[in-house]
Amino acid sequence: MSDKQKKFSEKQRQEELKSLKAKRFCVVLVVVLEIALIAVNIGFGAYIGMMKRRCKNSVKAQVIDVQTETELYHKARVNQNDNVYRPNAVKTHTYATIEVETDGIFKQHTIEKQTAKYHKSQDLKIYYDPKKPDRYYISGDLEYYSTSVKITSVIAFLWLGVCYLIIRLTIKASREFKSKYD
């Protein structure tokens, strides 16, 4: 082999080694993201289970007021001369005031909640923990979390498939690299 071929071969080896290291980094990143996604999913599931187990008592409630506020956001956009502030987003917040028919244990008379799913005069049920009345949820809230758990479960399952494929491709590339240069 001539010196030119050796330099080319060494350069090619270095490039392939960099590529292999990048693939390994991606594998680690994908696995860490998968673990985080599964942990969030387990956390939501545990929260839902805990709330359903502990919040056995209930009181009736009714939405007495719904207010909507609109907020205009300004973001700096830089042009060649200086910063120019222009509006680029409008955000709407909806707040519901809920009046609660308290019992001897749950003593919170009103609840303020930021949500758009309630309308004025809507009847609700509030489930609370008799041992810790400040731990409560409004009927329908846990369904939102349950849906989130289902969606993240599907994403985690699909992501697990992606992890498997990436790991397989990286192992294959690593074996090819070793057989080629060892």
Per-residue pLDDT in tens (0 to 9) along the chain, 182 residues: 566 556 657 777 777 777 778 877 877 888 888 888 888 888 888 988 999 999 999 999 999 999 988 877 665 555 555 555 555 667 788 899 999 998 889 989 999 988 878 889 999 999 999 999 999 999 888 877 778 788 888 888 888 888 788 888 888 877 887 777 66
Q: What count of Cα atoms within 13 Å lies in the side-chain half-sphere of residue 42?
A: 6
Nearest CA to 123 among 96, 95, 143? 96
pLDDT of residue 141: 83
Question: What is the reported pTM?
Answer: 0.63
Q: How far is CA 110 from CA 56, 79, 105, 137, in A?
A: 20, 49, 15, 13
pLDDT of residue 4: 57
